[in-house]
Amino acid sequence: MRPRIVLGICIGLLLAGALSADTRFSGAVDEKWSNPANWNNGLPDPDDKVQVVDNGFCVLDYDAGTVKHIALEGGGTGHLQLVDGAKLAVSDWSIIGYAGAPEE
């Protein structure tokens, strides 16, 4: 039983580190992915972990290339809409509907 508890704690800690974002979409100016002012650390690049969080509505309005990870969070309220011709590749993993605690 003890090894399972230790393994569970280790996996939890690893996931907590993996879910922290390099850049988060806030939609501060408008709903466009292409606007750097909508991101807390600028437009995502291929090595970034990306988050669209609670009540965020993000419109992917161009070929955004590749990101490493993407998480649409907040119990299903982080939304990503693709317009005609928009593209986004995710090189590692994506999470949809994860209700994690917001970062500060």
103 falls within a domain: no
Q: pLDDT tens, 22-66?
A: 999 988 899 999 999 999 999 999 999 998 876 678 999 999 999
Q: H-helix or E-strand containing 92?
A: strand 87-98
The pTM for the full model equals 0.70
**Percent of the chain, pLDDT > 70?**
66
Q: Which domain holds residue 79?
A: 2-98
Report pLDDT for 103. 56
Residue with the larger pLDDT of the pair 87 and 95 = 87
Q: Taking a C-beta distance cutoff of 8 angstroms, is the pair 54, 78 a contact?
A: yes
**Whether the predicted pLDDT of 16 surpasses 50:** no
Instruction: Provide the domain count of the chain.
Output: 1
25 falls within a domain: yes
Beta strands in 17-86 (DSSP E): 23-25, 49-52, 57-60, 63-73, 79-82
Mean pLDDT value across residues 64-75: 85
